[in-house]
Amino acid sequence: MAEVLLFHHALGLTSGITAFADELRAAGHTVHTPDLFKGRTFETIEDGVGHAKEVGFGEILERGTRSADKLPAELVYAGFSLGVVSAQKLAQTRPGAKGALLYYSCVPVSEFGSAWPKGVPVQIHGMDADPYFVDEGDIDAARELVAGTSDAELFTYPGDQHYFADSTLPSYDATAAELLTTRTLTFLKNL
């Protein structure tokens, strides 16, 4: 079974993130869910991103990096939206990574190095009409990552919701979320 370090989205460590982590735990995986917002949660993406700006994106990223310090090197790094930045950075820069799961977002590989590390499989998941994923260039970064890495997969789902796998939000899409979870569990099982 895999050990996963799962980073939350801009709404904070919500019950939806905890529920997703619990699904992975129920399948036998160990899942750590650090709280990069120190207990704060938000109702809107704009409010959560505003908080991250206030704290400083560099500080949020550093909190993510520090959360791995006392954990084994052989982790799968996973993140939802804002949490992808921490997950992707650690997957690309921390030796021993077993894999990466990037939900709703992807940054250019060049942000953390010149290439994706060999032997570190990655999945990227996003909706094909999500304005954050598509219009802000994340899908382009994901396509570039897939094109340059033999062990990378991009999964797009029909729809325009950003937080489509969070069962506690109005943006939840049960069909897409079920497929995302199935693909995630298969990825973890095959490591």
Tokens encoding 146: 């897939």
Segments making up each domain of the chain, as ranges:
3-189
pLDDT in tens, 84-93: 999 999 999 9
**Helix extents (H) in 68-170:** 82-93, 138-148
User: Are 145 and 113 spatial neighbours (Cβ–Cβ below 8 Å)?
Assistant: no
pLDDT in tens, 2-43: 999 999 999 999 999 999 999 999 999 999 999 999 999 999
Angle at 18 between CA 13 and CA 19, to 5 degrees: 140
Residues of the chain with pLDDT under 70: none
Q: Model pTM?
A: 0.98
Q: Which residue is associated with the tokens 């909190």?
A: 63
What is 3-189's CATH number? 3.40.50.1820
